[in-house]
Chains A and B, each alone.
Chain A
């Protein structure tokens, strides 16, 4: 018998305690009845040592309980004879994973990997079930368990080689964690299908991979590995080359702006931990592949990385690629960049008040809708709409005040499917709203407030309030409204009250007019009406209204191979021009497109809009230093390694992992605890009986 946690046996030393207690237990035989103890304070009894043990049976039982508890905590188990899985018997289920990620392009890695995988067909000919899976970011089944089972023993080798030859290296990252989990689940499925076998068949996952540092191991740490499963790593001979990688830095809005204005770009350069070359160069390349003359030198020691600011090539203005020179492996030496084009938006204010007044409606609106690197906002303030609105494209968002001549223009905008916010800024009036909805019965009075009104009820389920859904942002109670208009909302079509004051009167109303959506604010953000403009909620609320009709465009930067671009908001069908010169059609029903190649993808949509997306290699793929098996063992992967070939600590860890698995199957501690509980009951009964006997003796 072995123990998983033998140090818990130290707990057995606790049996000294009952022995001592049995020795020193003072028998207070003398008892004095007394009228009342209300004037007495207890005195701690003086302990007297005795040499004679009493109640030997009780003592033995108590010691036994402690021993059993210590033994249970030490987790005992019986060692099993070596598993049949290790000897490659025919009963095992094997999944072979072959790495097809970008880093396999290095040197002769791929050929060697194919050779190793090819030989496995012979090695595994007697296995019960075998499957061959290719993995990178995705998992591709090359030979399924069913294929293997259907083929004759003579056909299996040819099937294996045939399917193996279809595997190709892809420019994607190594998601080893995901692949291992999937393979383990496949083996579990295969086991569950085998109903005939009473015992769990041994399973094995053989990974043919360069086992690089940058393999994504997410999902492995918490994974509950099935029993009797071993993972084996068959790596091709490591390439003794030096590799450095280049990747764009995830840019914020200001960085995107600097790329456009100052022609400076920041790139992330990393050198692998086993690299021998430390002097690297960065050069721009134009679409035709011509390198700029002025390369920038970068000195980077092995295993380190840094962000480099690179000036745009002055002599090659069309350059959209940066190349890293000076290392041995070219697969991750190029990045593609596209300048981010700001989105064009327009916001019109109808019935704008005096912007030069610091508390006016337009004063605040002008400051809310400002251009950023991503959005170019055209802000138009129309003071007198009756006199005519300047011609131009329909605005994306319209803010209207309750002023003369606003109603016809606003109604036209709404009928065309636009979104607008109507601010009832005139005391006791809702004239514009009445004109728009065409209801003669719509009346407005001035709302009654006791000093001020607060927003009492808010429909946080509505998309307008989606940015405030989090508890940290949902406090609207600091916004005081001094004045508001009370309107009879029943006259509004398809009306929804999105926010109401604490008096119950509506504050923000959503209604449909024509094809468009109209939000009505029954107060305003002028200083005389409310503190809304001074609140942190003001800007998100207005942008929320703007984006309801026009969702923000997805970023065209920082995409890696295998990423998908959602096509919601784009006019389909369209055409996708791939970096390799070919093109494909985007069908009308497509919801997203996945980028399978690095380079600049150009999308052209039905409405003539164009979008260029730069797709680069997974940055983790550049970390080509070897992945240590210790790392996999540490996160709980049941690695099958020969103890002779690994370090002593690793061998001990592996042994412990196996023991832990055996122990968790046997669970002997439960029996020990059950016995201890039984003895405890017996001990309680005996102790009770002995106590009564003692008391009877004393009384007599």
Chain B
């Protein structure tokens, strides 16, 4: 899937980070002399700054929700399967670019954390971690954000993949703190088509996947209220994202993943230049 995009790399917002384009640049007064390429200066009498070959341009952390609500499905695969595939795809894509990719699996607690690396075998460890079965129950959005803020001091790209089926108290504060630390954030809200439309017919006992609570529900009677509340919840999240400059994507699990990635990368392409330049400058320093 990723290979298809590889040719379009020039248009990719990340191409500017590759070694070839940023390895040398002209010295300007004020630059750190540690990075000056003395050999080149001896050879050509020109002052160029040199980048280390193993240094990556971008740190990306994938925050993947592994709570029980992600096990819901009306299709052949669960929301968790979809989210993990999306995360693995992004990780593969980024590692191929030479970017460092980290992973944080969470439910009501942090279940797995792999720091951002770009080493041989790291991608394999990352995919193995993603394959691990869900252990937790409910979703807590705040704790992983607090944890990532504590762990990741350098500015990076944080990609959150979750159904966001949790109360939003404190979410704004955590996202604001992350943004204040100049992290760039992307949120994929992954929902099953049945969750979006609530297309159930007959009255039955609904069991909450997270709390195991039972409720007798007549879908016809509650559909309208459910959709209103769901929309209000999503709009609240979108409002926060808009305010903080966070990239929000609502993803239905029936959507093809390649199309989603294409959409996402196109979107990044349109929006990235400014932020890319910022990140580039930081890395150069």
Q: Which residues of A contact B (CB under 8 A)?
A: 28, 30-46
Contact = CB atoms under 8 A, between A and B. Distances in A.
10 contacts: A30-B205, A34-B206, A34-B207, A35-B69, A35-B192, A35-B210, A36-B209, A36-B210, A39-B233, A46-B218
A34 B191 CA distance: 12
B231 to A, nearest CB: 10
Contact of B204 (A30, A36, A38): A30
B95 to A, nearest CB: 31
B61 interface: no
Given A43-B221, A43-B222, A36 B215 contact: no
A41 B210 CA distance: 16
A42 B192 contact: no
Interface string B199-232: 0101111111111011111100110011001100
B165 A43 contact: no
A33 B213 CA distance: 10
B207 A33 contact: yes
A34 to B, nearest CB: 5
Contacts of A41: 222, 225
B226 A31 contact: no
A37 B222 CA distance: 12
B233 A42 contact: no
Contact of A31 (B195, B204, B225): B204
Given A38-B166, A45-B216, 11 more contacts: A31-B205, A33-B72, A33-B207, A34-B72, A35-B69, A35-B192, A35-B195, A37-B213, A37-B215, A40-B226, A44-B216
A46 B217 CA distance: 10
Interface in B148-204: 163, 165-167, 192, 195, 200, 202-204
A300 B95 CA distance: 120
Given A42-B215, A43-B217, A43-B218, A35 B165 contact: yes
Interface string B131-152: 0000000010000000000000
A46 B166 CA distance: 30
Contacts of B204: 28, 30-32
A28 B69 CA distance: 23
Nearest to A37: B208
A90 to B, nearest CB: 75
B51 interface: no
A30 B72 contact: no
B50 interface: no
Contacts of B218: 43, 46
A39 B226 contact: yes
Contacts of B59: none
A35 B79 contact: yes
A44 B79 CA distance: 30
Contacts of A43: 203, 216-218, 221-222
Contacts of B200: 32
Mostly, the A contact residues are: loop
Contacts of B69: 35-36
B67 to A, nearest CB: 9
Candidate in A28, A30, A32, A42 with the most chain B CB atoms within 10 angstroms: A32
A31 B207 contact: yes
A32 B203 contact: no
B165 A38 contact: yes
Q: Which 6 A-B pairs give the minimum distances between C-beta atoms?
A: A35-B72, A35-B69, A30-B204, A43-B218, A36-B165, A39-B229
A348 to B, nearest CB: 82
Interface residues of B, number: 36
A38 B164 CA distance: 11
Given A28-B216, A37-B215, A46 B203 contact: yes
A42 B207 contact: no
Contacts of A44: 216
Contacts of A45: 203, 216
A45 B139 CA distance: 29
A32 B207 contact: yes
Contacts of B225: 39, 41
Contact of A40 (B139, B163, B209, B217): B217
Contacts of A31: 204-207, 214
Contact of A42 (B72, B165, B216, B226): B216
A33 B210 CA distance: 10
B23 to A, nearest CB: 48
Contact of B205 (A28, A36, A38): A28
Contact of B209 (A30, A33, A42): A33
B222 to A, nearest CB: 6
Given A40-B206, A42-B216, A35 B230 contact: no
Contacts of A32: 200, 204-207
B202 to A, nearest CB: 7
Nearest to B220: A43
Contacts of B222: 40-41, 43
Nearest to B231: A39
A40 B167 CA distance: 14
A40 B192 contact: no
Nearest to A30: B204
Interface string B65-107: 0000111100000010000000000000000000000000000
Contacts of A33: 72, 206-207, 209
A89 to B, nearest CB: 71
Nearest to B69: A35
Interface string B228-253: 01100100000000000000000000
A537 B268 CA distance: 90
A30 B165 contact: no
A165 to B, nearest CB: 90
A292 to B, nearest CB: 96
A31 B213 CA distance: 12
A45 B202 CA distance: 12
A352 B233 CA distance: 89
Nearest to B211: A37
A33 B79 CA distance: 14
Nearest to B223: A40
A292 B209 CA distance: 106
Contacts of B217: 40, 42-43
B206 to A, nearest CB: 5
A33 B202 CA distance: 14
A45 B72 CA distance: 24
Nearest to B203: A43
Contacts of A37: 206, 208, 211, 213, 215
A36 B233 contact: no
Contacts of A42: 215-217
A44 B203 CA distance: 10
B167 to A, nearest CB: 8
Candidate in A35, A37, A43, A46 with the most chain B CB atoms within 10 angstroms: A35
A672 to B, nearest CB: 37
A33 B204 CA distance: 10
B202 A30 contact: yes
A36 B210 CA distance: 7
A107 to B, nearest CB: 85
Nearest to A26: B216
B17 to A, nearest CB: 37
A501 to B, nearest CB: 57
A35 B163 CA distance: 9
Nearest to B213: A37
Contacts of B214: 31
Nearest to A45: B216
A36 B207 contact: no
Nearest to A39: B229
Candidate in A32, A34, A44 with the most chain B CB atoms within 10 angstroms: A34
Contacts of B221: 43
B118 to A, nearest CB: 35
A32 B217 CA distance: 10
Candidate in A31, A32, A36, A44 with the most chain B CB atoms within 10 angstroms: A36
B209 A35 contact: yes
A39 B167 CA distance: 11
A31 B204 CA distance: 6
A497 to B, nearest CB: 62
Contacts of B71: 35
